[in-house]
Amino acid sequence: MAIEAIHQVAHAPHLITGYRLTDVKFTTALRSLAGSDEFETQLYLRPLESSKENSLNEFRICTLENGHWVENCRGTISAERITEDVEVDCGKEAKEERQLYSMLYETGYKKCKTTIASKQLYERLEKIGLSYGPAFQVLDDVRFDGRSATGRVKLRQWTVGVIENHYQKHIVHPTALDGLFQLAFPALIRDVERNLPTMVPDRLQNLWISSRGLSEAGSEYVQAYAAGFSEDMSADGTFMLALDAASKEPLIVARGLQTVAVGGRQLSSSSDTERCRRLCYSFTWKPDIDLLSQQELRAYCKAIENENSGFPLT
């Protein structure tokens, strides 16, 4: 939503090379009402600063639930354009970056030797509470090694059963982006029989999406790579990449994805409980003495005196 919004309000959108999202926080899942496949949303887009090349905007996505607006996601987004540096170096830096990403994918593909069939993967995910419908089952040719995974993300899966006049032009379809994030699960699998906890995205530090190559009619799939995932679900070092299958051009680059467990079976390590984020695990209630009446203050002091029997208050 944020990408389509910034594309619509951007000046000279034909010069945009990509979109960058930073410091993204997923606060609440999108929930549709029972018996309905629709929900009302609002997107807030507020400029933070402007320059000749890029404009930084704060965004918030909210949905209407039981008469109240609930925040689902927030972060910052900017549209990136061709800069003078590209013209000066004749695209040398971009070429070197493309070669680096291609090498990372090829190295990861060779390292990930264990395979899992697409059907088996989604059956495993359903067992831990993540049920993906046909349109979102976009991963195939999945390989993994316990900390990283590679696979293909199908870009046209969502068109199955879609009425032709319901098609809307887009930069990247949600199912394709979700498919890249799904690679985090096989990246954590050490063997095909190992279970995982139910995990959902919590934060994303940096996400770049190309303005071209993800929605063209001839694009059937992208080659994807995910690495740096560990059992403590830390965002440190996590990296995801999607390349054009033919040209090897980077189309999506994501860094710093942090997930959280949401119940169900926990990871197998005995220290997992200690690793869980526990922001508030102990509460101590104490009254503000200045707000107590004389009667309430005497009662409170009496209670404290009883708790410290043998040590009367003076």
239-251 pLDDT, tens digit per residue, is 999 999 988 999 9
pLDDT at 312 over 70: no
Name which of 17, 26, 12 is nearest 235 in CA terms.
26
Q: Which tens digits make up the pLDDT trace of 38-58? A: 778 899 998 887 555 557 899
3-state secondary structure of 60: strand
User: What dihedral angle (degrees, nearest 10) is formed by the CA atoms of 258, 259, 260, 262?
Assistant: 160
Domains in the chain with CATH codes: 1-82 (3.10.129.10), 89-283 (3.10.129.110), 285-314 (no CATH)
Q: Stretch 308-312: mean pLDDT, rounded?
A: 52
Please give the distance of CA 41 from its chain centroid, rounded to a whole number. 19
pLDDT, averaged across the chain: 80
Specify the amino acid at residue 160: V
Q: Measured between alpha carbons, how far is 272 from 93 in angstroms, rounded to an integer?
A: 42
Determine the pLDDT at residue 265: 41
pLDDT at 168 over 90: no
Determine the pLDDT at residue 284: 60
Name which of 201, 182, 203 is nearest 124 in CA terms.
182
Using a pLDDT cut of 70, give the percent of the chain over it.
76
Alpha-carbon separation of residue 305 from 139, 294, 314 (angstroms): 65, 16, 10
Q: Between vectors from CA 146 to CA 253 and to CA 116, what angle results, nearest 5°?
A: 90
Asked if residue 209 lies in contact with residue 251, where contact means CB atoms within 8 angstroms, the answer is yes
Q: Measured between alpha carbons, how far is 7 from 81 in angstroms, rounded to an integer?
A: 12
Determine the pLDDT at residue 142: 95
The residue that leads in pLDDT, 231 or 192, is 231
Q: Tell me the pLDDT band of 281, cut-offs 50, 70 and 90.
A: very low
Alpha-carbon separation of residue 88 from 17, 105, 235, 245 (angstroms): 17, 29, 35, 29
Rounded to 5 degrees, φ, ψ at 279 are -75, -40
Q: Stretch 144-162: mean pLDDT, rounded?
A: 86
pLDDT at 12 over 50: yes
Asked if residue 169 lies in contact with residue 216, where contact means CB atoms within 8 angstroms, the answer is no
Comparing 1-5, 70-74, 102-106, the range with the smallest average pLDDT is 1-5
The residue that leads in pLDDT, 260 or 99, is 99
Q: Tell me the pLDDT band of 8, cut-offs 50, 70 and 90.
A: confident
Determine the pLDDT at residue 271: 41
The Cβ-side half-sphere exposure at 49, using a 13 Å CA radius, reads: 2
